[in-house]
Chains A and B, each alone.
Chain A
Amino acid sequence: MSLNSDEKNIRFLGESRVGWRDRFSRFPTSLLVLLTILSLGGFVVLYSAVGGGENLDYVWRQGARFGVGLVLMLVIAMSGSEKVYRRYAYLFYGISLALLIVVFLTGTIGMGARRWLVIGFLNLQPSELMKVTLVLALARYFHDRSISMRLGVADLIIPLLMILLPTALIVKQPDLGTSILLSGVGMAVIVAAGLEWKIFIAVICLVGASLPLGWNLMHDYQRRRILTLFSPEKDPLGAGYHIIQSKIAVGSGGIFGKGFMAGSQSQLNFLPERHTDFIFSVLAEEWGFVGGLLLLSLYCMIVLRALIIASMASDRFGLLTVVGLTALFSFQVLVNMGMVIGLLPVVGIPLPMISYGGSSMLTLMIAMGLMIHVSIHSKQHGRTI
């Protein structure tokens, strides 16, 4: 009992230092290929969303971010020993939390949303860092106490605090989308760590019961978004405008779409935020049902590949890390698409690897780097898909 998990693994599974040659041969190339295809496709859609050649610099900037992200991903994936991220997980989490608090404190001075921290020339968004570091910290926590099989209520107090603290800070920014995302990701890690199903169901019920409370805490514009989801027609030019125009764009794409640069909704300024949060409606209008399904299946393949990495992870930390990061990725896919096609309220969550914007893409590339790191150091690495 007094042994910590590091020593356990060394003793029973044997710590093997993975050499450089192996790091390359074990590299899950398929994941890299899928990500690249996704981003290249994203550039094409972005080119159309910003109106073509005149605004080509948007595509160049996005490409540059992908390049930086790729380097970051490879550095994270290839460097460090097996346990390096586990060892510093709490430290990373602590730093992120501290930065969030700084934003929170300075943010109370200004009006409106404040999510950025400017450090010299660098614009840092601590809530993005928190997405990844929360997963690492939770994985470390459950890794360290892997003895009991089923997690009871008492085992959940600390992890829930670890989730709620940053979530509360981010709600206050206010950034409802990211805070929902964060709690969803935390939930996924807890479930994978072995939550009693009874507790899981109880929590779901609790969340359901506390919805009215959440409703009271919401900003007016957040309430309006939820209300308009159910009846967008009531206010076609106000809050319902996004949803109606986006649904028209998606629906009018039909089976094969209107063709590249030929979507009238996309090209005629009827779609708001069409290069950021609503970029999927551009894709769906111009590439149709076929394009939409293609994108959806690309995402599915990436998620599937990530879950395989999780199942082959050498230790609990690796498994839970990959599960959490996969949840982060897939949650964004589902919420963003759901919002664009009128199934979920409009919350500011970008479409992974496609939406224009740097911080979301960098976060996801960091997450991919960590997944690949786990994959390289897994014990059953004979075959990659």
Chain B
Amino acid sequence: MHSLENENETFKVDARRRLVILGGLFAGGAMIIGGQLFHLQVMNGGEYRNLAEDNRISLQPIPALRGRILDRHGRILVENSADFQLFVIPELAGDIRAFIRRVQPYLDLSSDKIEKVLRQAQRQRGFLPLMVLSRLTWPQVNWIESRIHTLPGASIQVQTTRSYPSGNVAAHLLGYLGEVNSKDILQYPSIHFRSGDIVGKTGMERMFELELRGKEGFREMEVNAVGRHIRELKRQPAHPGPDLRLTIDADLQAEAELALAGQSGSTVCLNPNNGEVLAMVSQPAYDPNQFIRGFSSDEWKILVTDPKRPLINKAIQGQYPPGSTFKMVVALAGLREGKINASTRHSCGGSVTRENHTFYCWKSHGHGQMDLVTAIEQSCDVFFYKVSETLGIDAIARQAKRMGLGEISNIGLEGERPGLIPSKAWKKAALGQPWYPGETLISAIGQGAVLATPLQLAVMVGSIANGGHIFRPTFVPTPKNVQPKPAFSHPINPTHLAMVRKGMIAVLHGKGGTARQFKPESVMAAGKTGTSQVVKHKREKSGKLIKEDNARFKDHALFVCYAPVENPLIALSVVVEHGGHGSTAAAPIAKRIVDFYFNKYGIPGA
């Protein structure tokens, strides 16, 4: 018993000795550290101070040149140009106000801008370059360069900026750039963004961001205490983004824009055999260069409050009632379901009345006896009212989906809208109401709930041109030796196709065609006019239309067509917002585009 306590005591004595040893080990370590500190800071402090002052290594990114965007023939749509910027290092310049006074006569800075520069000068370190002005003109660059030795701290730096040589042409299609935000970072996890990076925001610039941006390089620079570069140590060059060649035909695009100029609307031209987009116009447009230069708040306000909505790409985001351009869908649905055939005839007396409601034809005194071909040619509403009654809405909706309507085309552009093809199930789900028979009649002439984008209308008419195939619209040229594959196909019975085509040809080339005044001169084409009501028309008791003068209430004018009639090469849609009649406002635009195209390229085999 006693020995246990003894043992405990002996342990304690031994343990204390061990504690001293462990403490000594720590003290030894601390002394080594203290010694090294003495060595570094006291013995060699001066040398290290020189190293810190004079010898710094700074890693500088070399931005990669963004790929240019070219049209199908290699013409430049988007390129990079030099931007000369004046920088000053405040510490070297001395008095920054005096510096600004010296350069002011040649730069003509606004007082706002001067204020901004002075504020920034206070915020950042004196040895860091401060940007005074970008986008210097040549005379300004020359003036500064020739006096650079009398302007201590000043330097001209060249940055590349994006430039859109044709300004407004294809603005929506090409898109614009902007500073990276959190949404971009989430969308492109594979890109290592740094703050302030420029990234494509809309259009092609966005859709092909990964391809266009290239890979950034680095420079390892030795810089001195005031941030001046001493020498370059190592360089990893940037890899520029490759040029991007589009399916767009720059000439056709420009012509289409001219044709639509002054209007609010859109046109889309496709190759119906492979889905290549030849032109995509949305008017009015904006100048994408302005996004690089920056907007004043007034300019921006005008842009966003303009009722013609210039920032919207109407080709994919504008949804319009297709009006009579929808009649081909109803016709093909009726033929497919066996509800009509070549000998089907309906009499048009200017209106039909169902359940105390009168549905009017656009021609108030009626068309008389109509068959399918003449009904398309003259766009008789009553004929299609009657066909739709035998079909029902769901059969019409099925045919519309077969022709690419009611769903986005997956063209790849952000913000594409799906349009709307109503059906009984849709109305139940969306509004919780049953479908009324009268709504079928309204839908049959592309009114009511039916909506389509100009792109969808071009795809739809393209499927008539190619016999029932839906190609995904694309901006990437199809390689020559590759057979283009449609996204889906619902081949149309050749007899049915022939009847509908015959009606469409008659629209332009027939005696009673709604657009016969505007038939193309270069080629035989097939088309269809459309006029879609924006507001319900007011009528007198007799049924006569009351004229509305307010432009906002004017009808949208539409036209779809393809050409040539044999082996079509182009399918297009035109929508003119509040343009009035499709026959007078939209058809001439389509004629101009078609004529331009075939005058330029000719008709193969002709």
Contact = CB atoms under 8 A, between A and B. Distances in A.
A251 B41 contact: yes
Interface stretch (B47-55, B163-171, B441-449, B496-504): B47-55
B15 interface: yes
A146 B33 contact: no
A21 B104 CA distance: 78
Contacts of B42: 254-255, 289
Interface string A283-312: 011001100110010011001100100110
A265 interface: yes
Nearest to B48: A251
B29 A254 contact: no
B386 to A, nearest CB: 67
B47 A310 contact: no
A192 interface: yes
A149 B10 contact: yes
B22 A253 contact: no
Given A149-B14, A248-B52, A343 B36 contact: yes
Interface in A138-187: 146-147, 149
Contacts of B46: 254
A341 B41 CA distance: 10
A12 B1 CA distance: 9
A330 interface: yes
A250 B48 contact: yes
A292 B41 contact: yes
A194 interface: yes
B103 interface: no
A342 B57 CA distance: 19
B143 interface: no
B220 A237 contact: yes
B19 interface: yes
B7 interface: yes
A262 to B, nearest CB: 12
Nearest to A337: B33
B4 A293 contact: no
A351 to B, nearest CB: 12
B106 interface: no
Given A149-B7, A192-B22, A252 B57 contact: no
A104 interface: no
Contacts of B38: 289
B228 to A, nearest CB: 14
A307 B22 contact: yes
A73 interface: no
B40 A250 contact: yes
A264 B225 contact: yes
Contacts of B5: 12
Interface string B194-232: 000000000000000000000000001000010000000
Contacts of B437: none
A186 to B, nearest CB: 13
A338 interface: yes
Interface in A201-226: none
Contact of B57 (A236, A292, A316, A319): A236
Contact of A192 (B18, B48, B220): B18
Contacts of B56: 268, 270
Contacts, number: 135
A307 B32 contact: no
Given A255-B45, A264-B225, A268-B56, A341 B18 contact: no
Interface string A318-329: 010001001100
A310 B44 contact: no
B26 A237 contact: no
A296 B26 CA distance: 11
A233 to B, nearest CB: 12
A158 B120 CA distance: 66
Contacts of A237: 57, 59, 220, 233-234
Contacts of B19: 192, 307, 310-311, 323
A188 B51 CA distance: 40
B16 interface: yes
A125 B40 CA distance: 36
B57 A147 contact: no
B486 interface: no
A296 B23 CA distance: 14
A9 B52 CA distance: 61
A293 B37 contact: yes
A35 interface: no
A234 interface: no
Interface string B53-91: 101110100000000000000000000000000000000
A292 B35 CA distance: 11
A324 to B, nearest CB: 10
A237 B235 CA distance: 12
A53 to B, nearest CB: 13
Contacts of B11: 146, 149, 194, 316
A304 B26 CA distance: 10
B30 interface: yes
Interface in B285-343: none
A330 B40 contact: no
Contacts of B8: 12, 146
A300 B40 contact: no
Contacts of B49: 251-252, 254
Given A12-B4, A149-B7, A264 B52 contact: yes
B27 interface: yes
Given A296-B33, A319-B15, A341-B36, A252 B51 contact: yes
Given A8-B4, A248-B51, A288 B41 contact: yes
A32 interface: no
Contacts of B34: 292-293, 296
A254 B29 CA distance: 21
Contacts of A341: 33, 36-37, 40
A265 B50 CA distance: 12
A249 interface: yes
B125 to A, nearest CB: 8
Contacts of A194: 11, 14-15, 18
B254 to A, nearest CB: 49
A311 B1 CA distance: 24
Contact of B41 (A192, A250, A265, A310): A250
A251 B46 CA distance: 8
A310 B19 CA distance: 8
A284 B49 CA distance: 12
A155 to B, nearest CB: 14
A87 to B, nearest CB: 20
A237 B22 CA distance: 39
Given A8-B4, A289-B38, A191 B22 contact: yes
A1 B509 CA distance: 118
Given A149-B11, A311-B16, A343-B36, A299 B30 contact: yes
A357 to B, nearest CB: 21
Nearest to A292: B37
Contact of B51 (A251, A307, A316, A323): A251
A323 B22 contact: yes
Interface centre among B32, B38, B45, B47 (most CB of A within 10 A): B45
17 contacts: A12-B5, A12-B8, A237-B234, A250-B40, A251-B51, A251-B52, A252-B49, A254-B41, A254-B42, A255-B41, A284-B41, A285-B52, A289-B41, A292-B34, A293-B34, A307-B23, A341-B37
Question: Closest 4 CB pairs between A and B?
Answer: A251-B48, A254-B45, A252-B52, A251-B40
Interface of B: 1, 4-5, 7-8, 10-12, 14-16, 18-19, 21-23, 26-27, 29-30, 32-34, 36-38, 40-42, 44-49, 51-53, 55-57, 59, 220, 225, 233-234
Given A304-B23, A330-B26, 6 more contacts: A237-B59, A241-B57, A252-B53, A289-B45, A300-B30, A338-B36
Interface of A: 8, 12, 146-147, 149, 188, 191-192, 194, 236-237, 241, 247-255, 264-265, 268, 270, 284-285, 288-289, 292-293, 296, 299-300, 303-304, 307, 310-311, 316, 319, 323, 326-327, 330, 333-334, 337-338, 341-343
